[in-house]
A and B are shown apart, each in its own frame.
Chain A
Amino acid sequence: GESVGLHLPTLSVQEGDNSIINCAYSNSASDYFIWYKQESGKGPQFIIDIRSNMDKRQGQRVTVLLNKTVKHLSLQIAATQPGDSAVYFCAEIVGNTDKLIFGTGTRLQVFP
C-alpha cells in the first residue's frame, strides 16, 4: 500500500556538521516527493521537492537525493545550525492524486 516512513526517529548533530535525514517509501508509483520542516508549536514549512525524473536537487544548504531503485529519499543539510533543530517530514504524492502522504518524522537536534 501507500506508505512513507523514516529510518531514524531522532538525529543529534553538532553545530557545523552536515546532517542526513533518511526516508523510505513503498509505492513505486510515487512520482513527487517533498521535505517539510516543523518547528515546535508551528505548522510544517516547505523545504524542497523533487520529481521522480530527477535523482538530485539542491537548494540553499539543502540537497535532496532520490534513489528510485531502492525507494529511498534523503535530505542533506550542510553546516547544520541551531535554527535547523526541528522535526523533518518527507511526503509523497502518488500519480495524479491530490493528496500528500506524510511520513512519521525525524527530530533533528543540533548541539553546540
Chain B
Amino acid sequence: NAGVTQTPKFRILKIGQSMTLQCTQDMNHNYMYWYRQDPGMGLKLIYYSVGAGITDKGEVPNGYNVSRSTTEDFPLRLELAAPSQTSVYFCASSYGGPGEQYFGPGTRLTVT
C-alpha cells in the first residue's frame, strides 16, 4: 500500500490564483481530513469527510473548498489564494473514526 499520497509537494502561487491540492489513500478508509500547519505551530483542521459524498467544516474552512466523490480521493481547492494561506497542508485518513490517522507527506504552499 502507498498509504496517503499528496500532490504536489511544493507550489508557489500568486495572490488571486487558484489551485487544487490532491490527496489519495489506498487503505479503504472512510474518514479523510485536511489540515494546515503554520511554522512552529500545531495542525488546524480545515475540512473533513466521514465518507464519500459527505464533507464538513473544521476549525479554519474559510478560503477553501472540498469534495469527496470517491472513497479514495479528497481534493482541497483554493479559489483565490491569499498570503495568509501560505502553509504546509497535510491530508490524513482513518478507518472507523478520527483516532489513529495516517498522514500524507504534505504540500508546502507559498502565496506571494
- B-contacting residues of A (Cβ < 8 Å)? 32, 34, 41-46, 49, 89, 93, 97-105
Residue of B nearest to A44 (CB): B103
- A64 CB to nearest chain B CB (Å): 13
Number of residues from B at the complex interface, CB < 8 A: 26
- For the complex, what is the distance from the CA of A85 to the CA of B45, rounded to whole Å? 25
- A-contacting residues of B (Cβ < 8 Å)? 4, 31, 33, 35, 41-45, 48, 50, 56, 58-59, 90, 92, 97-106
Interface centre among A32, A93, A99, A105 (most CB of B within 10 A): A99
In the complex, what residues of B have CB within 8 A of residue A49's CB? 99-100
- For the complex, what is the distance from the CA of A99 to the CA of B35, rounded to whole Å? 11
Interface of A is mostly: loop
Q: A89-B43, A99-B58, A104-B41 are in contact. Are A43 and B98 (CB under 8 A)?
A: no
In the complex, what residues of B have CB within 8 A of residue A97's CB? 98
- For the complex, what is the distance from the CA of A100 to the CA of B97, rounded to whole Å? 10
Q: Is the CB of A100 within 8 A of B90?
A: no
Q: Is the CB of A43 within 8 A of B104?
A: yes
Q: Is the CB of A43 within 8 A of B58?
A: no
In the complex, what residues of A have CB within 8 A of residue B45's CB? 99-101
- For the complex, what is the distance from the CA of A41 to the CA of B44, rounded to whole Å? 17
- For the complex, what is the distance from the CA of A103 to the CA of B44, rounded to whole Å? 9
- For the complex, what is the distance from the CA of A104 to the CA of B35, rounded to whole Å? 14
In the complex, what residues of B have CB within 8 A of residue A46's CB? 100-102
In the complex, what residues of B have CB within 8 A of residue A34's CB? 99-100
Q: Is the CB of A89 within 8 A of B42?
A: yes
